[in-house]
Amino acid sequence: MKKIPVLAVALAGLLLAGVASPVRTGPAALASDAAGTGAALPEHALIGYLHASFANGSGYVRMADVPDAWDIIDLAFGEPTTPTSGDIRFTRCPVSECPNVESDEEFTAAIRAKQAQGKKVLISIGGQNGQVQLTTAAARDAFVRSVSEIIDRYGLDGLDIDFEGHSLYLDAGDTDFRNPTTPVIVNLISALKSLKDRYGDDFVLTMAPETFFVQVGHQFYGGAGAGDNRTGAYLPVIHAMRDDLTVLHVQDYNSGPVMGLDGQYHTMGGADFHIAMTDMVKAGFTVAGTGHTFPGLRPDQIGFGLPAAVSAGNGHTPPAQVHQALNCLVKGQECGSYTLRGGTSPDLRGLMTWSINWDHYYDWEFMNSHEPFLNALP
């Protein structure tokens, strides 16, 4: 996630663009109670990222000022001290950059108030600048320790994985997503399982990969035929955590054309892209060059991500097109020429956006357009 795309990799007609925002790191200072609440998510949820550790052109939004429509609030971002340390730090935006930033006490109290309303507040790790490569067992253990400290300090409900850039990749010969061997993959899976075990059933785990790391694995996996060993690299992580994964909301933006299950390339910015990309996650797909099929996820584990506004990222989709995509995916209506391979998904979890701040900047167009529509879905 980011303000404007800065990382672009041209690859067989596919564009990988970073979408994270500038992040500051440093020690957080406030201890708090253990994480989480047991309230269930609504059937159809609105999910957004809150710029908590940095300032950009969209402005700072206090936690207490986040409207009640947002069901999952991802704090952007926690970042490692170095790419391979595994030591994640989260610091609030400094007053010099965010003059209206609240105190830690006010911030934590606002989190508690959101949780009392049934909202989930997560720490999001990574983003464009937060390259996280857990190359060693020591880095894995540092990740578990430091992420736990952040969750405990602010009493958060869980964790969002927004690994981008070069955080995840596949070593040569690592061709079975069901049994990965690449250390950065194996150690991340182990770390996530440890965190899940630590916090139990109420722990909320979400992921926000780019299409390059998920759906592109249908055509290229680990660089097979394409030369980039990052293609499809989220698939082993998603598969290993599928029983513990709350929501996968792929970033349907800052993407090049991606081949869908119909053998056609789909381009971001319209209903067709969201339909085709989400259908792949629901139906499952063959993984290129491996002889294996990635099984689809449950509909309640699936959302899709959008920029809140034209300034937030490439691939902004007009609200009417988003609603068309939802009508197709949920009700089988308005699908155009596309035939759903995974069938309809009445339990589709909802929409994610980058970001709450950009939506605020544009007078809450995303929230006001989509929250009532989600609530009206069957």
In the chain, domain spans: 8-376
Q: Which residue among 79, 102, 164, 210 is the active-site one?
A: 164
pLDDT of residue 65: 98
The b/e string for 334-362 (b: 16+ C-beta within 10 A; e otherwise) is ebeebebbbebbeebbbbbbbbbbbbbbe
In angstroms, the CA 20 to CA 35 distance is: 25
Helix spans in 250-340 (H): 271-283, 319-326
Residue position matching structure tokens 């959008």:
306
pLDDT of residue 18: 36
- Which pair of structure tokens corresponds to residue 161? 């994985």
pLDDT of residue 227: 82
Residue position matching structure tokens 């935006």:
93
Q: Which helix (H) or strand (E) covers residue 79, if one does?
A: strand 72-80
Instruction: Indicate the pTM of the whole model.
Output: 0.90
pLDDT of residue 172: 93
Report helix angle 319-326 to 271-283, nearest 10. 30
pLDDT of residue 232: 97
Chunked into runs of 10 residues, the chain (378 residues) has average pLDDT values of: 38 37 31 52 97 94 98 97 97 96 97 98 92 97 98 98 96 96 98 98 97 97 86 98 98 97 98 98 96 97 98 96 98 97 97 98 98 96
For the chain, what's the residue count? 378
Write the CB contacts of 319 (distance below 8 Å, at least 6 apart in sequence): 365, 366, 369, 370
- If 0-12 CB within 10 Å is exposed, 13-18 middle and 19+ buried, where does residue 10 land? exposed
In Å, how far are 74, 80, 328, 351 from 150, measured between CA atoms?
13, 12, 39, 26
pLDDT of residue 157: 98
CATH node for 8-376: 3.20.20.80
Catalytic residue status for 210: no
